[in-house]
C-alpha cells in the first residue's frame, strides 16, 4: 500500500490530519450550539484555524444545513474599510453556498441601501455565486451592516459568525467600539467566535476593564496534544518508512518543541525523509533532526530577522539561550544584554504583541521552538 500520510506544516489541515484536539472541538461546538460568544486563543501554529474550519464548522453545518456560517480572516487589516471589505466577501461567499431564493435576495436589497444582490454562476468553477452588487458609486457596506444581516438570518434560520485573527482590529481606530455595538445588537443566542494567536493583544481587547469589548465572551485556550495521542499519529506516518516511536520519545520531543504541533511535525517530516528504515527511534535521534530542520529553515529565519532591530535580535538571542525567563526586566538578565529596563520594556511589549515571544506561566519564551534553536546556534 502506498503511504500517503505525511507530516503537514505551513498549511491548514484537513479534518483527518488533525491529531486529536477532540476535547477542544467538542467544547467549542457545544458552546456554539448553545449560542455562546467565545474568544478562542492559542499560540501560533497550534491548530486553531484548522480545527475550526476543517472540523467544527462542517460539524455545525451537518447539524444545521440551512445555517449561514460566515468565516472572516482579519489578518493584517489596517482600516475600517478593509475590515468591511473582508466581511463583505466572506458574507457573499457564505450566501453563495446556501443558494438563496429570490425572495431572500429581494429582502436583502430592501434592508441595505444601494445594493443589487444577485445570484449568478462563477465562470471558472461553474458554482453558484452570490454578489451583493455594491454600487460602484458608493463605498463598501460597513461591516456592522453585514453583522446585522447575519443576525436577521439567524432569527429565521440559524447562523454562526467566526472571526479569525481578531486581534488585528486593535490597531484600527474605532473598530473595537463598532464591533461592540454591532455584537450588542445581535440576537443573544447567535454564536460568535473571535480567535487569534496574539494573546497579549487579545488580552488588551477583552480583559482591560475600560476597553469596549471588556469581558465580552468566554475565553477558551486550545490544549496541548499529549504524547499518548501523538504517538499513533507519528507511527501512522513513520511505520511505512520503517521507523517507530514510543510514547517516551514522543514526550521528550513534545517537550523539546514546547508542545507546538507544527514544530513537532517538522521533526516527524525530517525523520520520514532521512531516517527510512531506522527502526525504533530514540531520544538521540531528536537533535540531528532539529539541526536538520534548523538548517533547512536558515534562509527563512535570516529573512525573518530583517524585520527586527539589532537590539531586538540581541534580546531574542539572549532569551533563546536562557528561556524560560521569568523576569526579562531583572538586572540578572539585562546585564548580559547591556540594556536598561527602560529600553527593554517597550521592546518586550512589541515582541509580545507580534507573538514572536510569549509569556508562559514558567516565564517568557520564543514563540517558535525551531526559531529558538536557530537563535541559539547562529
For position 49 contacting Mg ion by CB under 5 A, the verdict is yes
Q: Does 84 bind ligand ATP (CB under 6 A)?
A: no
From the list 14, 361, 61, the residue with the least C-alpha distance to 191 is 61
Residues 29, 31, 38, 48: which binds ligand ATP (CB under 6 A)?
48
- Of 8, 86, 199, 317, which lies in the binding site for ligand ATP, with binding defined by CB under 6 A? 8
Distances in Å between the alpha carbon of 106 and those of 111, 147, 369? 9, 18, 53
Question: DSSP of 4-46, one letter per residue?
Answer: ------SSPPPGGGS---HHHHHHHHHHHHTT-EEEEE--TTS
Bridge partners, residue 38, by sequence: 193, 218
* Stretch touching ligand ATP by CB under 6 A, among 14-22, 109-117, 123-131, 172-180: 14-22
- When the beta carbons of 339 and 356 are compared against ligand ATP, the nearer one is 356
By CB under 5 A, tell whether 231 contacts Mg ion: no
Q: Is 227 in the site for ligand ATP (CB under 6 A)?
A: no
C-alpha to C-alpha distance for 21 and 251, rounded to whole angstroms? 17
Q: Would strands 68-73 and 159-164 be described as parallel, antiparallel, or unpaired?
A: parallel
Nearest distance in Å: CB 262, ligand ATP? 4
Angle of the 175-184 helix axis to the 80-98 helix axis, nearest 10: 40
Q: Least distance in Å: CB of 195 to Mg ion?
A: 7
Distances from the Cα of 377 to the Cαs of 67, 107, 272, 320, 371, in angstroms? 51, 62, 24, 10, 10
> Which residue stretch of 9-17, 58-66, 137-145, 238-246 sits at the interface with ligand ATP (rule: CB under 6 A)?
9-17
Least spacing, CB of residue 334 vs ligand ATP, in Å: 29
User: CB under 5 to 8 A by kind: which of ligand ATP, Mg ion, none does 50 bind?
Assistant: ligand ATP
Q: Which is nearer to ligand ATP, 262 or 285 (CB)?
A: 262
Q: Does 45 bind Mg ion (CB under 5 A)?
A: no
Cβ proximity of 43 and 199 under 8 Å:
yes
Q: Which three cell numbers stand for residue 211?
A: 476597553
By CB under 6 A, residue 268 contacts ligand ATP? no
Query: What is the spatial distance between Cα 310 and Cα 276, in angstroms, rounded to a whole number?
Result: 41
From the list Mg ion, ligand ATP, none, pick the one residue 261 interacts with, judged by a Cβ distance below 5 to 8 Å according to partner type. ligand ATP
Q: Which residues bind ligand ATP (CB under 6 A)?
A: 8-13, 18-19, 21, 42, 44-50, 197, 225, 261-262, 265
Q: Which residues bind Mg ion (CB under 5 A)?
A: 49
Amino acid at each position: 500500500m502506498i503511504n500517503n500520510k505525511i507530516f503537514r506544516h505551513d498549511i491548514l489541515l484537513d479534518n483527518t490530519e488533525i491529531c486529536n484536539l477532540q476535547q477542544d472541538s467538542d467544547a467549542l461546538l457545544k458552546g456554539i450550539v448553545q449560542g455562546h460568544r467565545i474568544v478562542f486563543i492559542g499560540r501560533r501554529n497550534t491548530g486553531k484555524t484548522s480545527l475550526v474550519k476543517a472540523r467544527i464548522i462542517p460539524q455545525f453545518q451537518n447539524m444545521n444545513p440551512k445555517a449561514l456560517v460566515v468565516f472572516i480572516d482579519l489578518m493584517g487589516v489596517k482600516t475600517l474599510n478593509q475590515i468591511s471589505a473582508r466581511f463583505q466577501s466572506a458574507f457573499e461567499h457564505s450566501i453563495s453556498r446556501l443558494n438563496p431564493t429570490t425572495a431572500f435576495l429581494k429582502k436583502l436589497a430592501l434592508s441595505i441601501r444601494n445594493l443589487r444582490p444577485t445570484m449568478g454562476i462563477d465562470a471558472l468553477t461553474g458554482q453558484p455565486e452570490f454578489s451583493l452588487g455594491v454600487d460602484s458609486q458608493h463605498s463598501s457596506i460597513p461591516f456592522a451592516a453585514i453583522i446585522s444581516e447575519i443576525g436577521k438570518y439567524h432569527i429565521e434560520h440559524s447562523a454562526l459568525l467566526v472571526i479569525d485573527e481578531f486581534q488585528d482590529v486593535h490597531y484600527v481606530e474605532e473598530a473595537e467600539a463598532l464591533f461592540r455595538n454591532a455584537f450588542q445588537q445581535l440576537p443573544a443566542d447567535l454564536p460568535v467566535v473571535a480567535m487569534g494567536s496574539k494573546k497579549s493583544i487579545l488580552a488588551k481587547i477583552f480583559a482591560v476593564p475600560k476597553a469596549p469589548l471588556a469581558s465580552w465572551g468566554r475565553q477558551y485556550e486550545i490544549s496541548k496534544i499529549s504524547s499518548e495521542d501523538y504517538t499513533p499519529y507519528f507511527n501512522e506516518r513513520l511505520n511505512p518508512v520503517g521507523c517507530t516511536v514510543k510514547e517516551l520519545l514522543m514526550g521528550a520531543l513534545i517537550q523539546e518543541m514546547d508542545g507546538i504541533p507544527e514544530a513537532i511535525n517538522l521533526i516527524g517530516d525530517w525523520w520520514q525523509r532521512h531516517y527510512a528504515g531506522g527502526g525504533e527511534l530514540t531520544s538521540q535521534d531528536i537533535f540531528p533532526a532539529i539541526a536538520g530542520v534548523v538548517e533547512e529553515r536558515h534562509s527563512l529565519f535570516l529573512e525573518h530577522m530583517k524585520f527586527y532591530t539589532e537590539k531586538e535580535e540581541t534580546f531574542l538571542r539572549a532569551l533563546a539561550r536562557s528561556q524560560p525567563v521569568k523576569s526579562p526586566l531583572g538586572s540578572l538578565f539585562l546585564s548580559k544584554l547591556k540594556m536598561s529596563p527602560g529600553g527593554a520594556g517597550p521592546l518586550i511589549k512589541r515582541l509580545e504583541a507580534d507573538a514572536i515571544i510569549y509569556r508562559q506561566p514558567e516565564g517568557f519564551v520564543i514563540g517558535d521552538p525551531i526559531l529558538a534553536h536557530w537563535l541559539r546556534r547562529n
